Amino acid sequence: MTTKHILNVLTGLLLLTSLFSTRSRGVDKGLSQTLNIVTVAETKSLQEVTLKSAAQDFLVGVAVNPLRVKDSMYKKFYRQEFNSITAENAMKMKSILKGIDSNGNLIYDWTRSDIIVDFAESNNINVHGHALIWHESIPDFLQGFSGTNKEFELLIKTYVTDVVTRYKGKVGSWDVVNEAIGDNTSTLRNSLFLERMGEDYVKKCFQYARNADASVKLLYNDYNLVSDQKKQEGTFALIDHLKKNNLIDGVGYQMHINFDAPSKSEIQSATNQIVKRKLLVHFSELDVKVNPNGNINQFSKQRALAQRNKVQDVVSVYNDIPKAYKYALTIWGLKDNDSWIITRYGNKDWPLLFDDSFTKKEAYQGFIDALD
Could you give the residue numbers annotated as active site? Answer: 179, 285
293 φ/ψ angles, rounded to the nearest 5 degrees: -100, 0
CA–CA dist 313, 241 (Å, integer): 31
Dihedral sign, Cα of residue 48, residue 54, residue 58, residue 63 = negative
Other beta carbons within 10 angstroms of residue 31's beta carbon come to 15
Query: What are the counts of helices (DSSP H) followed by strands (DSSP E) for the chain?
Result: 15, 11
Instruction: Identify the DSSP state of 360.
Output: B
Measured in degrees and rounded to the nearest 5, phi and psi for residue 84 equal: -150, 145
HSE-CB for 59 with a 13 A CA cutoff: 24
From the list 81, 94, 178, 162, the residue with the least C-alpha distance to 128 is 178
What is the spatial distance between Cα 322 and Cα 330, in angstroms, rounded to a whole number?
Answer: 18
* Residue 150 neighbours by CB distance under 10 Å: 10
| Of the candidates 317, 310, 266, the residue with the CA atom closest to the CA atom of residue 287 | 310
Q: Are 360 and 305 in contact (CB under 8 A)?
A: no
Cβ atoms within 10 Å, residue 27: 9
